[in-house]
Each structure stands twice: as structure tokens, then as C-alpha cells.
């Protein structure tokens, strides 16, 4: 991977809808050369997919929080992760080191819904303990490319 590949990736991270022509103009190559580089980056696993990032607030879920979770001793990580797929308010889950097992990013309509998510985790998800913090503001940064 060279400097041009990294520049293409950086542009795509900011806006995955850019055309090969727009990318080519930005990196001073032909659209065909950029398309070939894109295919190579996709084929070698550097680009693993393209998806839409949704704004939870636009979907009525402007109340965001982070829930740290300690699992019961008999709850397997994969089993817990599978249970999360049935809770639509959970945006992301990260397996962590430290005193808690997972950090969950949730987007809810209000505090009542957040409380329901927490209770669902405790009742159905094999969770022993939770620690919840509300998100006041998030600043999105580049991924360091």
C-alpha cells in the first residue's frame, strides 16, 4: 500500500459515495487507475465493505449512552453478542480488557428506553453488572490514515 492508496482510503472514509472520477481528480490519476486500486484494496481485504452510517437522532434516538457490561461467569462472549442483535437500540459493542467485559454504545429515545435496555441486558443477556454513562457530545475524527 502506497501513499496514493492511503489517500484514496482516507477520502472514502470521509465519503464512501465518491465516484472513481472524483477520487481520480483528488489523487491526480485516471478513473481507471483508481478503479483498479480500489478493486485491489477490496480484493486484499483492506476495504471490507461499504455501508450507510445512520444518524440515530434522525431516527428519533437522540439520547445516547455508553453501557459497560460485566458478564455472568457462565455467559460466553459469542452468546452475549448474539443476544445483542435483538436489541435495536444497541449501535455497537466492543469486547474490552479491564474491569468490564464489553462497552456498548446505545441510542434511545429517552431515559425510560435506556432503562428498559439496561433491564433487558440484565434479564436476557447474561449480564451481571452494568455501568451507564450518558453521551454529552461526540466529535468524529478521521481514522488516522
The answer to whether residue 51 is domain-embedded is no
CATH number for 14:
1.10.10.10
Give the count of domains, the chain. 2
Say whether both 64 and 31 belong to one domain. Answer: no
The answer to whether residue 101 is domain-embedded is yes
Taking only the tens place, the pLDDT of each residue in 28-44 is: 999 999 999 999 999 99
Give the count of beta carbons closer than 10 Å to the beta carbon of residue 67. Answer: 22
The answer to whether residue 120 is domain-embedded is yes
The answer to whether residue 48 is domain-embedded is no
Query: Cα(117)–Cα(106) distance, rounded to whole angstroms?
Result: 9
Greatest Cα pair distance, the chain, in angstroms, is 56
pTM of the model: 0.70
b/e per residue 30-48 (b: at least 16 CB within 10 A): eeeebbebbeebeeeeebe
CATH number for 85:
3.30.70.920
Burial of 109 (C-beta count, 10 Å sphere; 0-12/13-18/19+): middle
Taking only the tens place, the pLDDT of each residue in 89-117 is: 999 999 999 999 999 999 999 999 999 99
Say whether both 30 and 63 belong to one domain. Answer: no
Say whether both 62 and 117 belong to one domain. Answer: yes
Say whether both 7 and 28 belong to one domain. Answer: yes
Checking if the pLDDT of 78 tops 70, the result is: yes
Q: Are 76 and 66 in contact (CB under 8 A)?
A: no
Q: Are 114 and 132 in contact (CB under 8 A)?
A: yes
Say whether both 69 and 126 belong to one domain. Answer: yes
The answer to whether residue 144 is domain-embedded is no
Amino acid at each position: 500500500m502506497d501513499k496514493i492508496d492511503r489517500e484514496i482510503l482516507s477520502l472514502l472514509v470521509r465519503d464512501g459515495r465518491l465516484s472513481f472520477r472524483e477520487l481520480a481528480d483528488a489523487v491526480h490519476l485516471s478513473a481507471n487507475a483508481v478503479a483498479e486500486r480500489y478493486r485491489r484494496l477490496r480484493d486484499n481485504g483492506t476495504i471490507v465493505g461499504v455501508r450507510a452510517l445512520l444518524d440515530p437522532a434522525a431516527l428519533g434516538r437522540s439520547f445516547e449512552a455508553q453501557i459497560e457490561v460485566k458478564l455472568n461467569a457462565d455467559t460466553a462472549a459469542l452468546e452475549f453478542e448474539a443476544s445483542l442483535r435483538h436489541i435495536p437500540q444497541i449501535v455497537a459493542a466492543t469486547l474490552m480488557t479491564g474491569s468490564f467485559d464489553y462497552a456498548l454504545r446505545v441510542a434511545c429515545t429517552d431515559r425510560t428506553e435506556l432503562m428498559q435496555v439496561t433491564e433487558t441486558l440484565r434479564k436476557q443477556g447474561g449480564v451481571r453488572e452494568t455501568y451507564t454513562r450518558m453521551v454529552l457530545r461526540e466529535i468524529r475524527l478521521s481514522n488516522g490514515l
